[in-house]
A and B are shown apart, each in its own frame.
Chain A
Amino acid sequence: MYGRLLATFRHGILRPKIPYCWLSSSQRRALVTEAEASFQAPTMMHRRMPTTTRMEFVPANAHDGIPMYSILNKDGTVADGAEDPKLDKDLLLRMYTKMMQMNIIDHIMYESQRQGRISFYMTHYGEEGVLIGSAAALDDKDLVYVQYREYGVLLWRGFTLNQTMQQCYSTMYDYGKGRQMPIHYGSTQHHFVTVSSTLATQMPQAVGTAYAYKMSQKKQCVACYFGDGAASEGDAHAAFNFAGTLSVPIIFICRNNGYAISTPTHEQYSCDGIAARGPSYGLTTIRVDGQDILAMYQAMQESRRFVLEEQKPILIEAMTYRIGHHSTSDDSTAYRSVDEVRTWDEQGHPITRLRHYLMDRGYWTEQQDKELQTAFKKEVLQTIKEVEKVPKPPIRDLFTDVYKDMPPHLEEQMKYMMGHVKQYRDQYPVDLFAKEQS
């Protein structure tokens, strides 16, 4: 019975059914009779669906086993049957350098938080390939909406170390004026929408922007990143469905890294990952090996071509692994084994894979690797040293930008606060903040 169900599905006969209550009994009879003669009924709203006289259920695992597109083996060799994309050497080296830089910044900033120099941090360990691979295939002007673990896209686009540290250290030169937690980056110049902590809220927003791009016939697309956990939010459903029905040029990139804080994916969903949901929303979908930057790049490049030409959405599920803790407020050994983490770190890490690939081709050497690391570490530490001396933004920035212009009641509250702080100056860390202009 079960095998037959599956076989039926594979032949593509089973499709969403119109509820029978919508049809009169005579229509129902008509459908059934004509079905006997292979009648292909045009039915609800442009959807064709065949009818059947056999009662067959679509099995819950009907969509299981969407394969993962991969080019590189764990040792950096090209897999049997895969085609080496033979990317430009400069591009490959830039990808590698950026992944290394992400990794070094992560190490130093993580330590920085441990020493109490910044309040919070989130690393990207293991997910460097997804981020740099996808960013490299986008046009730098494609608007990017992210969750929070996507610094690589900004780094790829030339967001400087200085800008990065100003944000994490909440200085007066932080674009966000020190209002948000560390790693909540944003930059209009880099077409990177400011991060917010609320999960998945960026997803329907990204669809809205893509619709505006389509309307204005702007030849850009929107890229929207999110994690496997965020995909459980209602906003993810809204975004997929709106993207499908309104047909917009958007690439959804799911970083499926196995965990949402402590929750493993088997407690997150009971289907074949996020990719299996794509087709049911009308999204063209692919699952990619996120540890393989070449596969990620190739899939992303093709996705971009597709969404721009067809003005239709794409879903990419990038399979990866969160090697680091969820954040500096999390100790992941409380819910997963050190061995599990080590396996992912040592076998097929995206950086190591590409390093092998580059070395095999004579594009890179151990020596160069060491030099890159030493030089970049020095640069990061130097930047931190400078940024740590920069004052925090002026205190009045607590009140600006709530509205475009400050309404009278806020003006009143600001005046009160300034007066109060002046009177109780010793009780507040006033000296850390930039002097008021007026």
Chain B
Amino acid sequence: MSLTCLRFTVRAFLRKKVSHRRLQWEQLASGCELQKRSAGHFTFVPDTPSSSDGETARLNLYQAITNALDITLSNDPTAVIFGEDVAFGGVFRCTVGLQDKYGKHRVFNTPLCEQGIAGFGIGMAVAGATAVAEMQFADYIFPAFDQLVNEAAKYRYRSGGLFNCGGLTVRAPCGAVGHGALYHSQSPEAFFAHVPGLRIVMPRGPIQAKGLLRACVQDPDPCIFFEPKILYRLAVEQVPLKDYTLPLGKAQVLQEGDDITLVGWGTQVHVLREVAQMVQDKLNASCELIDLCTLMPWDKETVANSVRKTGRLLVAHEAPLTAGLGAEIAAAIQEECFLSLEAPVQRVTGFDTPFPHIFEPFYLPDKWRCFDAIKKIMNY
């Protein structure tokens, strides 16, 4: 066998491996092609951009992310994007075309080592550069927990403001995907919400994703941006092509109502939107729907104002119940709105188990569990 031939064989082999893997995750992302189990868990309703937003394009969530990263690289010569497999476009296609456009020094693969990726990103940010690091799955962010919690979050504080790593943004696909089981489904936001110094953000769709990611990149504090991976291909809407940001630390009231406040983030917002309709239809009650958007520091004021009006609160998230972010919101709201509350705050969440494979439909806080909880609150 000639040298060239052998080289070719190895390359072909690698290509095959990569494309196989890509296929696998595309199927994962699309959710229901291989397995029907996740179908019906929620329905995505697109947002409508305002007419003042200028030109728009029909983009799904991963394309909106790519668009935000593209703008970042073109506006900021210090910006770099790195992580495992980002060079060829990423296992979820979020970085497709960026290396060709901006070069190998600005969009590159790192060795397979999450603590290294986070530490490396912090170091770039310390030097004043804009570092957008990718963790392939939020489930694999834990090896970087030390770097993010002990280092990134505390950099400014411990140095008295001399040094900071505000230029760091960590992106990580998160949440249920239909059949991701234990290590392709987790929502680890509560682990990080317990850490002073980090901003934790999760969008519910492409318009939000672009605006919030751009805000994270420009924010002077280190941010972790969780991307609900089930929405990557499934969520499609008209996304403004111009550069824009959405405010961090601000929740959005998506739907006004008088009888109960529903709080969620990421994919769960879409579950709650359906639930609100069910409640309207079946119970003749109106729900106020709030997307928290930023999970740390979260917008207590908007939620409290809503609960003062409605007197009832339901918080829903995919992550387990105990010490989940719902606990923080429930505790803060009962303290803030004690005299307004007409029923105990309810949490509808994942169970206190690891995220299971075949049992996913029974694990998720789906619309029926949310609906039932609301029924109980309304009858309290």
Contacts and interface: CB of A to CB of B under 8 A. Distances in A.
Interface of A: 22, 24, 27, 30, 34, 41-44, 143, 145, 174-177, 179-180, 184, 186-188, 193-194, 196, 198, 201, 203-213, 215-216, 234-235, 237-239, 241-242, 245-246, 400-405, 407-410
B127 A402 contact: no
Contact of A205 (B10, B110, B120): B120
Contacts of A145: 123
Contacts of A410: 196, 297
A184 B1 contact: no
B162 interface: yes
B194 interface: no
B158 A180 contact: yes
Nearest to B9: A27
A208 B127 contact: yes
B48 interface: no
Contacts of B128: 212
Contact of B131 (A180, A196, A208, A238): A208
B111 interface: yes
Interface string B1-24: 101001101100100000000000
A179 B127 contact: no
Contact of B119 (A30, A175, A207, A401): A207
Given A205-B120, A403-B221, A246 B110 contact: yes
A196 B158 contact: yes
Nearest to A244: B111
B113 A238 contact: yes
Nearest to B156: A401
Given A186-B163, A209-B123, A407-B249, A238 B116 contact: yes
B10 A44 contact: yes
A240 B324 CA distance: 37
Contacts of A211: 80, 120, 123-124
B146 interface: yes
Given A186-B162, A198-B151, A179 B157 contact: yes
B304 to A, nearest CB: 11
A207 to B, nearest CB: 6
Contacts, number: 177
A174 B162 CA distance: 11
Contacts of A44: 10
A204 B242 CA distance: 35
Contacts of B159: 175-176, 186, 193-194
Contact of B123 (A176, A206, A409): A206
B301 interface: yes
B311 to A, nearest CB: 23
A211 B122 CA distance: 11
A269 B92 CA distance: 40
Interface in B59-86: 78, 80
Interface of B: 1, 3, 6-7, 9-10, 13, 78, 80, 105-106, 108, 110-111, 113, 115-116, 118-129, 131, 143, 146-147, 150-151, 154-164, 166, 196-197, 199, 220-221, 249, 297, 300-301
Contacts of B13: 22
Contacts of B3: 41-42
Contact of A201 (B1, B119, B127): B119
B120 A408 contact: no
Nearest to B147: A201
20 contacts: A27-B1, A30-B6, A176-B160, A180-B158, A186-B160, A201-B150, A204-B120, A204-B123, A205-B122, A205-B123, A205-B126, A208-B121, A212-B78, A237-B116, A238-B120, A246-B110, A400-B161, A401-B160, A407-B297, A409-B297
Nearest to A406: B297
A196 to B, nearest CB: 6
Q: Which 9 A-B pairs have the closest CB atoms?
A: A208-B123, A204-B119, A238-B116, A205-B123, A212-B127, A194-B159, A208-B120, A404-B220, A177-B160
Given A241-B113, A401-B157, A235 B119 contact: yes
B143 to A, nearest CB: 7
B7 A42 contact: yes
Contacts of A194: 155, 158-160, 162-163
A410 B196 CA distance: 10
A216 B77 CA distance: 9
Contacts of A179: 157-158, 160
A216 B106 CA distance: 11
B108 A246 contact: yes
Nearest to B154: A196
A96 B120 CA distance: 36
B116 A242 contact: yes
Given A188-B162, A241-B113, A401-B160, A201 B78 contact: no
Nearest to A186: B159
B6 A41 contact: yes
A54 B180 CA distance: 45
Interface centre among B123, B150, B159, B249 (most CB of A within 10 A): B123
A22 B111 CA distance: 20
Contacts of B7: 42
A175 B127 contact: no
Contact of A408 (B6, B108, B197, B301): B301
Contacts of A237: 113, 116
Nearest to A180: B158
B163 A188 contact: yes
Interface centre among A143, A207, A235 (most CB of B within 10 A): A235
Nearest to A242: B116
A175 B160 CA distance: 6
Contacts of A204: 115-116, 118-120, 122-123, 147
Contacts of A186: 159-160, 162-163
A24 B5 CA distance: 13
A175 B159 CA distance: 7
B161 A203 contact: no
Nearest to B108: A246
B97 to A, nearest CB: 21
Contacts of A239: 116, 119
B119 A174 contact: no
B156 to A, nearest CB: 5
Contacts of A216: 78, 127, 129
Contacts of A188: 162-163
